[in-house]
Chain A
Amino acid sequence: MTTTTTTTPPGTVTPPSTPLLNRFRVPAGFALGAVLLLGIAPLALSDFRLSLLAKYLCYAIVAVGVSLAWGRGGLMVLGQGVFFGLGGYAMAMHLKLTDAAATGEKLPDFMQLYGTGDALPWWWKPFANPGFALAMTVLLPMAVAAVLGFLVFRRRVKGAYFAILSQALAAALSIWLVGQQATTGGTNGLTDIQGFFGYSLDDPVNQRMVYFVIAVVLLLLMALARQLFVSRYGELLIAVRDSEERVRFLGYNPANIKLVAYVVAAGMAGLAGALFVPAVGIISPALIGIVPSIGFVIGAAVGGRASLVGAVLGAIAVAWAQSTLSDEFPAAWTYLQGLLFVLAVGFLPGGLASLGVVLRRRRTRTGTPATGETA
């Protein structure tokens, strides 16, 4: 059964299940997710909660890429904030320009405030074009990832080095954005976004539309990632993660294999950033620096980095827990977040997705017969 070839992180085993169940598991799960996201959630949730969910789904889109690059490829992508930010800023620049044009202004509000003169900076100008801006939300992150990835993977800089370099990139971008106050809005970022391609974001109906766009994009990207996982490329990616040297000896170039995963993950993060802007109405350096960049992998680690559904659910759950708990008990939430991370990564490397498997194995080991399907 080719559908079970999705391999697992070290320390987990594929749950034994019947072939018939397997054949329908993935489409059935996908259909269930679609019904939940597109049917039940919009009916059951208030406008406010639905817009919160839209925000969490943006993090989930990043998690799809994290699951690909980190879970499958073993690339610890600690700088996803960079790509999220590039996508977010590309979108926000366009929306700020259309907002300004709608009110008859030549410049976005913050530029008038900081007084950089009358002229729009040259690198803002192309973003007035919606097609260009939309393309940039994905292409710009992918280009940055391609350059960094090419340089780093080609020279076989790997593991911790790659993680630290990608983290340093996140730090550098957010520091740079803060420093260029007149053209990027500095610490405040690009705020107070009013419209989304001509639709006012104040209108709850349009907010719902944004939610649907995000949910559909998430489902599509999950399907895409799933196809990548079961493809020949997905097998190669896992092979590179587990033994790069052997893959090299077999005649493949591991650098290219890793590069594709990194670039695709960057594109997904960029798209997530672009969708985040209309959903939340702001993009700022505080959302893309080192801390949020690590935040992007927290959810995936807790849910299960190698399991696509685990990573996505983990990202949603952690984001939800963060916004509900951090308002009421900020101190307690920080402790809990730290502890969650220590426990999930340190003691359950497969994340919560592997909990059932680990428990089942432990039960078998201690002699109690495992219930149901024993191998």
Chain B
Amino acid sequence: MTVVLNQSFTGISIGAVLLLIALGLTLTFGQMGVINMAHGEFIMAGAYTTYVLQKSISSAGISLLVALPLAFLVAGAMGALLEWLLIRRLYTRPLDTLLVTWGVSLMLQQLARDVFGAPNVQTAAPDILTGNISAGSVTFANNRLFILGLALLCVLGLTLVLRFTPLGRRIRAVVQNRDLAEVSGIATGQVDRITFFIGSGLAGVAGVALTLVGPIGPTMGTNYIVDAFLVVVVGGIGQLKGAVITAFALGVLQSVLEYSTTVSVAKVVVLVAIVAFLQWRPQGLYTLRTRSLA
């Protein structure tokens, strides 16, 4: 029983990390159809933001708190710049965005290597986040709980913005029917850029969270990016609740499989499970109903 609970918690915390990373993608990939391979490098930007802050602010707790909004702005600005420079020219060719942003991600990785050096760096976690909480025989690592809370907070915030603000309404309008939104007087180009800003900013927040669980390095984005895309694919395009359910389901599946087999076998089985799942629901868990044939 203890094992089951501990493994489930591990799974949930893997899921929380996945969710944080995939959240920005549900906006940029799910809603806008842009396959942004540089998303992983925006995560890296968030992580390095934390690292730089910690050099000037010695208190780990304060620097973490400052890092969260700052990383959002840094990564968001990078995303908006990318959208303005490249992606807005490619909305009619979604597949090519993958290759173009892959080129961008190569350059950003190299930039990180030139600025911060190739070896991984580490940040100190605040004291509150280093311990564990025990409930009965189950232990919860504080940093994992923090990430879980942060992920849920981001989901909540994003949901509120999309549901109840004028900006959210405009975003949803553009996603559902770009042409109709355009003729209704919505500046779709501007909405695209803001959506990209938010999506990339969320990657920055994920980067801050990742500094609590692992080292920061130029290739850290590559390690997560494919998993994050799988979450969005299985969850269904542009569906927040799909992403939430999928991230936790894949996290738990992964941790259970890792416990009973090995990490490498678990990866393969998860992939097989995803392909099998798509046989049943090719459009993902939840689908946005539109009138388009494709």
Residues of A within 8 A of B (CB): 10, 74, 76, 78, 148, 151-152, 155-157, 159-161, 163-165, 167-169, 171-173, 175-180, 244-245, 290-291, 294, 297, 301, 331, 334-335, 337-342, 345-346, 349
Contacts and interface: CB of A to CB of B under 8 A. Distances in A.
A159 B107 contact: no
Given A76-B98, A155-B278, A179-B262, A168 B271 contact: yes
B95 A164 contact: no
B265 interface: yes
Contact of A160 (B94, B109, B226): B94
- Interface residues of A, dominant DSSP: helix
Contacts of A173: 268
B275 A148 contact: yes
A290 B93 CA distance: 22
A172 B254 CA distance: 13
Contacts of A161: 233, 278
Nearest to B111: A335
A168 B272 CA distance: 10
9 contacts: A159-B94, A163-B98, A176-B264, A290-B226, A338-B106, A338-B107, A338-B110, A339-B107, A345-B100
B282 interface: yes
A172 B268 contact: yes
Q: Which 3 A-B pairs have the closest CB atoms?
A: A179-B264, A341-B103, A338-B107
Nearest to A177: B264
A151 B279 contact: yes
B96 interface: yes
B29 A334 contact: no
Interface in B84-136: 86, 89-90, 93-96, 98-100, 102-107, 109-110, 113-114
B29 A152 contact: no
B263 interface: yes
A105 B96 CA distance: 50
Contacts of A155: 278-279, 282
Contacts of A169: 271
B107 A160 contact: no
Contact of A76 (B95, B226, B271): B95
Interface in B254-286: 262-265, 267-268, 271, 274-276, 278-279, 282
Contacts of B86: 342, 346
A334 B282 contact: no
Contacts of A163: 35, 95, 98
Interface string B53-95: 0000000000000000000000000000000001001100111
B294 interface: yes
B260 to A, nearest CB: 14
A40 B110 CA distance: 38
Q: Among the interface residues A157, A168, A331, which one has the most CB atoms of the partner chain B within 10 A? A: A168
A155 B100 CA distance: 28
Contacts of A157: 278, 282
Given A331-B110, A349-B93, A342 B100 contact: yes
Q: Among the interface residues A10, A169, A176, which one has the most CB atoms of the partner chain B within 10 A? A: A176
A346 B100 contact: yes
Q: Among the interface residues A152, A163, A245, A341, which one has the most CB atoms of the partner chain B within 10 A? A: A341
B98 A160 contact: yes
A165 B102 CA distance: 16
Interface of B: 29, 33, 35, 86, 89-90, 93-96, 98-100, 102-107, 109-110, 113-114, 222, 226, 229-230, 233, 262-265, 267-268, 271, 274-276, 278-279, 282, 293-294
A176 B98 contact: no
B35 A151 contact: no
A300 to B, nearest CB: 10
A340 B107 CA distance: 11
A165 B100 contact: no
A349 B275 contact: no
A175 B99 contact: no
A172 B267 contact: yes
Nearest to B99: A345
Contacts of A244: 294
Given A168-B229, A172-B271, A335-B107, 19 more contacts: A78-B98, A148-B275, A152-B275, A156-B282, A157-B278, A160-B98, A173-B268, A175-B263, A175-B267, A176-B268, A245-B293, A334-B110, A339-B107, A341-B102, A342-B104, A342-B107, A345-B96, A346-B90, A346-B96
Nearest to B86: A346
A176 B104 contact: no
Contacts of A334: 106-107, 109-110
Contacts of A245: 293-294
Nearest to B38: A338
Contact of B222 (A151, A172, A175, A290): A290
B293 to A, nearest CB: 6
Nearest to B229: A164
Contacts of A164: 35, 226, 229-230, 233
B233 A301 contact: no
B265 A179 contact: yes
A294 B102 contact: yes
A151 B275 contact: yes
Contacts of A160: 29, 33, 35, 94-95, 98
Nearest to A147: B275
Contacts of B105: 338
Contacts of A168: 226, 229-230, 271, 274
B96 A338 contact: no
Given A76-B95, A151-B275, A176 B103 contact: no
B103 A167 contact: no
